[in-house]
Amino acid sequence: MTPPTFAEPQARDLDELVEGRCRDPFALLGPHAGRAGRFIIRTFQPAAKAVEVRLVGAPALQPDGTRSVPLVPMTRRVPEGLYEAEVPASSGGDAPDYRFQITWQDDVVTTIDDPYRYGRVLSDFDLHLLGEGTHHDAHERLGAHLVKIGDAVGVHFAVWAPNAERVSLVGDFNGWDGHVHPMRVLVPNGIWEIFVPGLGPGEKYKFEVRSRDGHLQQKVDPFARYFEVPPRSACIVWDGAAYAWQDDTWMRDRRSNNHWLDRPMSVYEVHLGSWARKPEEGDRPLTYRELAAELIPYVQALGFTHIELLPVMEHPFSGSWGYQVIGFFAPTSRFGSPDDFKFFVDACHQAGLGVILDWVPGHFPKDAHGLARYDGTALYEHADPRQGEHREWGTLVFNYSRNEVRNFLLSSALAWLDEYHADGLRVVAVASMLYLDYSRAEGEWIPNEHGGRENLAAIDFLHQLNELTHAGFPGSITVAEESTSFTGVSRPVYLGGLGFTYKWNMGWMHDILEYMGQDPVYRRWGHNHLTFAMLYAYTENFILPFSHDEVVHGKRAMLDKMPGDWWQKAANLRVLYGFMFTHPGKKLLFMGDEFGQWREWNAEESLDWHVAGMPPHAGIRQLVRDLNAVYRREPSLHQIDFDPTGFQWIDCCDFENSVIAFVRRGIDARDFTLVVCNFTPVPRHPYRIGVPEAGWYAELLNSDSAAYGGSNVGNGGGLGSEPIAAHGYPQSLSLSLPPLGCLVLKPAR
């Protein structure tokens, strides 16, 4: 870097520096070419008692033939702490290599390098890509990064704040004083940067942003990789390259088997802070490494294929369950460091479990130290509250029309798939992104350019998200939590869809829970709730979710939703799970549901593990384990979820008895499984069901088995067909249907 030519600073410039309003600190601080081979060096150290320049290398030869001293006292130019010294040029005529030796008020002496003797780090090409929104690795350039410039090792900081009057780096290293490290602004992007030599991992920092109206606010780094444990909120410099992954086999297989549509997918949804706690240690939650040791083998033993985590991205308020994110690139420090989280994901992969992360690009909280009005203006959000505010949630809406905002969010998504080896992202509250009038009354929203209610910029963003993730990370998935009839959510972008891999089937979930909540006496009049989903089952690639949202806020726990006495409640839940695991669609079950926890989920408490081993809870858990085993073992139950050839009704019309029967088929059409569900507490024998072929039918699973806490009504492990016509087939079975039971049968060949 060629130092600026010497110019005597104007009083106004000095005032701006002292008052923390200087937009161009490099014009005043650092080395500046002076007269006759001399350089003027300035530094602003308001907490220093004295500052000296220590010249590095061989002393320079002066015109009079003498050698310069290696330590040059600096003059306090202004009382507030601007120091200045004149030093000779290097032998090549450039600014000399130097350090500052600072004596602090307590007489402690330290030596530091000068950030203001280093040039720009971000290139014009970086700025071009960041400005046009195509730098999808923006997290590699913005934020805090360990770099080496020449012989100096330190941290480069960069942040986007185009409307700020001044941005400074603050932290423990400068006493959180925004006067010490004002940053360089790069125009026209409005990105501020500074390289601070000598800093390393573990340093705490924020950006002090001065808005045009003079308001000062310490803001977090939007691209920070690590934070203090809330309620503290400082960012922490982190070396993301230090972790050594051990999941090469999993990642290689994921790339080669690049979709899950014809494979078993059974997801265990988890809130890490409340799955289990340590009561003997103040009821603290488990760490990432403790979860790796306890959660992973538990989920593995139950036979699930994936773990889905409620948002692990850093969030200030635990009561938001992670859905109000402040650190879009940082796993929450509540449970450990970023490397600890990588260890958890790594351990999942080595155990054969995929990891899906809930991801929240739809909104963000209003916390003053976060993204809200980041540079004093509506930067990440819309300025108009009719576009920029979710009043229902008390949050702000991202402005997807801004290149830099889209770039920020897309980089976040790709970082979780790349740096943290996540296997998929569930995009939360997609409906709130798609519709401008979401949760808004008339007059509280602004139509799009065509007068419609669709958020065209958000739709374009979702197209980009799904194209980039699927192309860049083969085998990864994206899942939409989308509760409306928006067309083509899980259809490819090139076919006019949004491009998600899957969509949660909220309609099926609401229908079946409404049906199961009825006393069996009345279920005959709601029989369509059992069958309606098959009218639209192939419009999307559906996941059947019983998620955390169904067991909070007075909705009651899954077991408590069921009618009847204790035995009937457990039996109802077992037949419901049997129906779910055999119905077309991938599966998702929230933690605690697998053993029928009686209480609603409380994010501040552990699951009720003390009841998990008691009847009927132990039986429910054993059933879930066996359902997962049958589901994964039988191709007919998972290979064709999204095409009509994988499903066939035997009888969907017996509303009087509340019984349904259907067949699931695999890619090999000869391979099929028969499912019969009785949704009343009345055993039915004989109950005749037509079957596609003659032979012996093995009873793969009976949800009424005594092993699950049932009454053990069944068919003795299997039975043969009879040449009696039923349901359009020449062969049929005379079954004993258990009360509130699900039978899964398969012809023995």
Q: What is the DSSP annotation of 329-385?
A: EEE-GGG--HHHHHHHHHHHHHTT-EEEEEE--S-EE--TTTTTTTTSS-SSB-SSH
What is the tens place of the pLDDT at every residue in 553-571? Answer: 999 999 999 999 999 999 9
Q: Rounded distance, CA 330 to CA 326, Å?
A: 9
101 and 72 co-located in one domain: yes
83 and 187 share a domain?
no
Would you give the distance in Å from CA 491 to the centre of its chain? 22
Predicted confidence at residue 392, as pLDDT, reads 87
Predicted confidence (pLDDT) per residue in 59-71, tens digit: 655 666 666 558 9
Read off the pLDDT of residues 367-395 as tens digits, 9 standing for 90 and up: 999 999 999 999 999 999 999 899 889 99
Residue at 361 is within a domain: no
On whether both 215 and 231 belong to a single domain, the answer is: yes
712 within domain boundaries:
yes
Helix (H) / strand (E) containing 408: helix 403-418
83 forms beta bridges with 43, 76
Q: Is residue 649 part of a domain?
A: yes
Band of the pLDDT at 349, cuts 50, 70, 90?
very high
Q: What pLDDT was estimated at residue 212?
A: 92
In Å, how far are 371, 422, 691 from 216, measured between CA atoms?
15, 37, 75
Q: Please say if the pLDDT value at position 659 is more than 60.
A: yes
Q: Round to whole Å and give the CA distance between 749 and 217.
A: 73
Domain of 736, CATH number, reads 2.60.40.1180
pLDDT at 581 over 70: yes
Let me know whether 102 and 131 are in one domain: no
Domain boundary among 236, 257, 278: 236
- Which helix (H) or strand (E) is 502 found in, with range? strand 502-504
Determine the pLDDT at residue 391. Answer: 86
Q: Which of 183, 204, 236 is the last residue of a domain?
A: 236
Specify the pLDDT at position 92: 79
Asked whether residue 229 is assigned to any structural domain, the reply reads: yes
Least confident of 93-97, 469-473, 544-548, 648-652: 93-97
Is 537 domain-assigned? no
Closest C-alpha to 83, from 31, 54, 114, 42: 42
**Do 25 and 43 sit in the same domain of this protein?**
yes
141 and 96 together in one domain: no
pTM: 0.95
In sequence order, the 6+-apart residues with CB closer than 8 A to the CB of 581 are: 266, 587, 627, 628, 630, 631, 637
Q: pLDDT at position 692, please?
A: 96
Is 631 within the bounds of a domain? no
In Å, how far are 23, 180, 181, 323 from 217, measured between CA atoms? 16, 16, 15, 24
The answer on pLDDT for 4 being more than 60 is no
> What pLDDT score does 487 carry?
94
Residues 46 and 131 both lie in one domain = no
Task: Round to whole Å and give the CA distance between 594 and 576.
Answer: 12
Q: How far is the C-alpha of 331 from the C-alpha of 315, rounded, in Å? A: 9
311 within 8 A of 258, measured Cβ to Cβ = no
Tell whether 178 and 203 lie within a shared domain.
yes
Residue 19 binned pLDDT confidence (cut-offs 50, 70, 90)? confident
Residue 157 near residue 193 (C-beta atoms within 8 A): yes
690, 741: one domain: yes
The answer, yes or no, to whether residue 5 has pLDDT greater than 60, is no
Residue 722: its pLDDT value, please? 97
Q: How many domains does the chain have?
A: 3
CB distance 176 to 165 below 8 Å: no
* 662 within 8 A of 605, measured Cβ to Cβ: no
Residue 68 placed within a domain: yes
Look at residue 256 in the predicted model and tell me its pLDDT.
87
Q: What are phi and psi of 343, to 5 degrees?
A: -60, -40
Does residue 203 share a domain with residue 112? no
Give yes or no for a contact between 269 and 548, defined as CB atoms under 8 angstroms apart.
yes
Which one of 117, 148, 182 terminates a domain?
A: 117
Tens digit of pLDDT for each residue in 50-61? 999 999 875 655
Residue 1 has pLDDT above 90, yes or no: no
The domain of 231 spans 124-236
> 519: exposed, middle or buried (C-beta count within 10 Å: 0-12, 13-18, 19+)?
exposed
User: Do 187 and 213 reside in the same domain of the chain?
Assistant: yes
Which is more confidently placed, 136 or 345?
345
Look at residue 90 in the predicted model and tell me its pLDDT.
Answer: 85
Position 6 pLDDT exceeds 60:
no
Residue 271 has pLDDT above 90, yes or no: yes
Nearest to 591 by CA among 305, 293, 307: 307
Q: Give percent above pLDDT 70 in the chain.
A: 97
**Gap between the Cα atoms of 154 and 227, Å rounded:** 19
pLDDT of residue 15: 87
For residue 72, give the CATH number of its domain.
2.60.40.10
State the residue for tokens 């290599």. Answer: 97
Per-residue pLDDT at 61: 59
Residue 34 lies in a domain: yes
Residues 141 and 210 both lie in one domain? yes
- Token pair for residue 562? 């069921």
Going by C-beta distance under 8 Å and a sequence separation of 6 or more, which residues neighbour residue 616? 566, 567, 570, 596, 709
Q: What is the per-residue pLDDT for 172?
A: 95
